[in-house]
Structure formats: structure tokens, C-alpha cells
Amino acid sequence: MNKDWFVDWFNTSYYHTLYQHRDEGEACRFIDNLCVHLKIKEKAKIIDLACGKGRHAMHLAKKGFQTTGVDLAAESIRIAQVNALNNRVENAHFDIHDIRETYIEKGFDYVFNLFTSFGYFEKTEENLKVLAAASGNLNRQGVFVLDYLNVQKTIPNLIPQESKNLDGIQFDIQRQYNGKHIIKDIVVHDQSETHHFQERVAAFDRKTLEKMVSKVNLKIVDVFGDYDLNQFDTDKSDRLILVMRIKN
């Protein structure tokens, strides 16, 4: 297994099979709510960091925004590019890119990192690079939105074991918290073949994230706890959504 687990996992077709039933309606509703709350203007430039197959980016582009989606997984970007072409969405651009590096210095009005696409790296310093790069992508008046899981609710409610059969493929999943990361071990049984993959997400709570963003010239201006943008509650909220601006 590759040291950077996401390189192996996100580039395999099994990843897309396992998560094929993600709620597209929920993703669109979240984007719609953000656009209203942030009062995003027509033709605003938006980058979606770790965009995956581009479901959030495509919805933003369809709303008329100049949208860029970047991801390290070449297979996800290929799918996003095909979807944009098939749907004739000309203002959606997708590119392979490591989100630890700034894509275009001060090139965007809004930077989004959504659906727990953060905390993938083993070292805190590497995750800080993601935040610093996000800040670097922003123009002076720009806004950065980080959509993360609420670890203080997630960890006590982890489902230790689970099995799914999807498209004739068996997925055996084990979840654990090791004190620093939430880990999902995924064993795939596909006919006579068996594969092992892993997901690892750093268990950053609100206080830790507040300290991290303060180190990269960002300040938090709003905190929400779900995709309807309700107030964050440590014990009850499923999500930890931070809205940030560059410090003056």
C-alpha cells in the first residue's frame, strides 16, 4: 500500500463503486446555501480543492461561476472532464494538482475544500501546507470554506465493522480511532481477487483547526454545523464548516 493512501485508493474504480450512492441532492443544497450566504456574484472565480469527480464544482459552474476543480487523483479528474464535456459546461475547468501547493497566486474569489477533503496527511505540517496554499489562492477580499467532519461527534459513533455488496463486489470495512486519526480499512473481494485499501483522516477538533488557520494568515468569520448552515454544536453537529478570510 502506498504511503500516501489516497493515491492508491482514489485512483481505483473500487473507490467510485463504494461511494456511488453519495447524496447529490445534499451536495447541491449545500452549494446553494453557501452561494446565498456568501452572496457570490456573477462570474466569480472559484476553486474546489480536492474536487474528486467534480460534483460540487460542476454545480457551481452550472450556476454561472468560473469554476476550477483540482485533485491529485488522475482518474477522478478524467471523469470530471468527461462530465463537463458531455454536459457542455464550458466554464468548468479540471486539473491534476497537489493541494499542498498554491494553484494560482491570488487567483480566486472563493476557495472551497468540501466533504472532508482535508486532514489526509500524516504530519500536521503537511496539512498546514494545504491551508497555506488555500490562503495563497485567495485574492485579498476572498473567502475560504473548509467543510470538515465534527470529530467530537464522529469518533464516539464510529461503526466498527460493516460489509457491503455493490455491483457484485464485496467490501468489508473496519473503522477505528487511534488517538490521532480516524482510520477506515477497506478489504475488497472482487471474484478471485482481494485488495486492501485504507482511508486516514486526522482527528482535528475545532480548537485545533482554529490554531492551524491562524498560522497561515487566515481568520474564521463563521462556523456552521451542517449543510443547512445551522449553528455549530460540538455534541450534535455532523459537520464543522469554517468560513475564513485573509487577515488584514
Average pLDDT, the chain: 95
Q: Is the pLDDT of residue 35 over 50?
A: yes
Q: Can you tell me the distance from the alpha carbon of 93 to that of 81, in angstroms, rounded to the nearest whole number? A: 7
**pLDDT value at position 24?**
82
At 14, list the grid cell: 473500487
Q: Which of 140, 136, 144, 141 is nearest to 114 (CA)?
A: 144
Higher local confidence (pLDDT), 26 or 96: 96
Tell me the pLDDT tens digit for each residue of 52-110.
999 999 999 999 999 999 999 999 999 999 999 999 999 999 999 999 999 999 999 99
3-state secondary structure of 18: helix
Whether residue 248 is predicted with pLDDT greater than 60 in this model: the reply is yes
The C-alpha atoms of residue 196 and residue 40 are separated, in whole angstroms, by 42
Rounded to whole angstroms, how far apart are CA atoms 183 and 166? Answer: 21
Q: What is the mean pLDDT of residues 173-183?
A: 97
Longest distance between any two alpha carbons in the chain, whole Å = 59
Element housing 27 (H / E) = helix 24-38
Residue 1: the pLDDT is 41
Residue intervals of the chain classified under CATH 3.40.50.150 are 5-149+205-246
Q: In 63-108, which residue ranges form alpha helices assigned H by DSSP?
A: 74-86
pTM, two decimals, is 0.95
Whether 236 shows a pLDDT value over 90: the answer reads: yes
Distance CA 121, CA 183 (A): 12
Q: Are 218 and 142 in contact (CB under 8 A)?
A: no
Residue 22 is predicted with a pLDDT of 77
CATH T-level assignment (fold) for domain 5-149+205-246: Rossmann fold (3.40.50)
